[in-house]
Structure 1
């Protein structure tokens, strides 16, 4: 994917973790990137870093607050993105998920409290319903997009836990698995009608403890808190980096004959069949 031609890109969950890494990477390539997140503290910090991350000086970055549980807020966000990008969107990256990945407060799916259902609703709303609604509302903008390979495209960020879960990940695994079905379905519907491509990235263990405001202030490095045992989990010899996901994203943006596909970004699992927290 060349930075010669700036693309207009939206990244949800762009203030922390994988989403922040994607935002920083694309901005550094010279693209116009709009991050969406619900955390005001992290959003303010991202905005403060835009000038530093925009190494080429060619792209433009911005970050807006949006609660993806709220459908009206999503609609308002799309209207704002329409203005910022002057009606043209090249890439939509549906990355956001409601943290934590497990049930909060030490709960499990067989908990007697109704609180578990509120958590379920939130995880499905942010992790599955919001990508569908946001994609649907962005179709008019994506139709006017141009990635050289096609009109605008959509990339959904799923997880290997869609296939291989851990204890107390029902909401996370269900949303991420549903995102794969949504990817397949939207690729057919939007492809035949508008030539809009839709693909998914399926990351394994991507270490992102360095992708937040506190880590920046403490000057946390990617390798901090990682040891030899963590590397030995993977036949590839190390834990994943945000850059690994970014490379897959660049490929999918530029691959004109690829749609409805799942790109797994994982170094493999050695001694065990589940990922550690």
Structure 2
């Protein structure tokens, strides 16, 4: 992992899952982290305070509805003041859970509820990253180094390519992020030298990355079977740390932009174990 340094980092969806693991990593390596998430209860977890214990002023948690453009604009202004007008890393990670349609609905649902849910998921998963990237452009241009200003990292998913049942909005948003990554890499690169890349996680087990799991002492491997591990040619299911390593690489890779890094152990033939 990276050495201690002092970066200004904005992470969306940082209260749980992959986002929480990224918050932990950047705090533990001596950076200032501004987190946007709608889950206020998760921010009150003891571990958040523990990670920032040595420098409590390095963590800024803000409850924000990322489907609300006005709230996003307000938070970017606040973040700019906190960070002195400089941002080194923007990580667009948030998505409106659940990944599937709620209440066991399917896309054929005849009510308007399905379209309202579609609007929220696309707003959080795709429109918010675009708006945040727009608003943060001058901050990113002022951040980073002389040779390489701040960078944007979009967290997509292998579901952009290989969906499952009832993931239409999730897959559409994550696929859209890849197109957005390519376009912004060209536009923001030529005009501002801002790099834009995407990370595409496969099966990353995050059942231990939430407040409830902390209180119950749940570990990463809990609930995973031998079959789950053997399903992957790499020999195990993914960890948040696997995504962290890819993000760290992209933060420091000054000649890398418009790229997609897939973090996946592969899907092969299941091993058959004797009874």
TM-score of the two chains, using structure 1 as the length reference:
0.94
C-alpha contact (below 8 Å) 2:5/2:29 kept by paired residues: no
Cα offsets for 1:204-233 (capped at 9, x unmatched): 000000011100000110000001010011
Q: Structure 1 stretch 216-225 or stretch 52-61: which is displaced more?
A: 52-61
Partner residue of 1:105? 103
Partner residue of 1:275? none
In the alignment, the residues of structure 2 paired with residue 189 and residue 200 of structure 1 have an alpha-carbon distance, to the nearest angstrom, of: 16
Aligned length: 270
**Among 205, 215, 218, the residue aligned to 1:220:** 218
Change (3 A) 1:108 1:73: same
Partner residue of 2:29? 29
Change (3 A) 1:242 1:114: same
Structure 1 residue 50: deviation in Å? 3.5
Within 5 A, what are the aligned runs for 1:59-208? 60-147=58-145, 150-208=148-206
C-alpha contact (below 8 Å) 2:87/2:143 kept by paired residues: yes
C-alpha contact (below 8 Å) 1:28/1:59 kept by paired residues: no
Unaligned runs of 5+ in 2: 271-275
- Alpha-carbon RMSD across the aligned residues, in angstroms, is 1.6
Unaligned runs of 5+ in 1: 273-277
C-alpha contact (below 8 Å) 1:6/1:31 kept by paired residues: yes
Structure 1 residue 57: deviation in Å? 4.7
Change (3 A) 1:148 1:226: farther
**Among 233, 257, 260, the residue aligned to 1:259:** 257
In the alignment, the residues of structure 1 paired with residue 100 and residue 3 of structure 2 have an alpha-carbon distance, to the nearest angstrom, of: 38
In the alignment, the residues of structure 2 paired with residue 121 and residue 35 of structure 1 have an alpha-carbon distance, to the nearest angstrom, of: 23
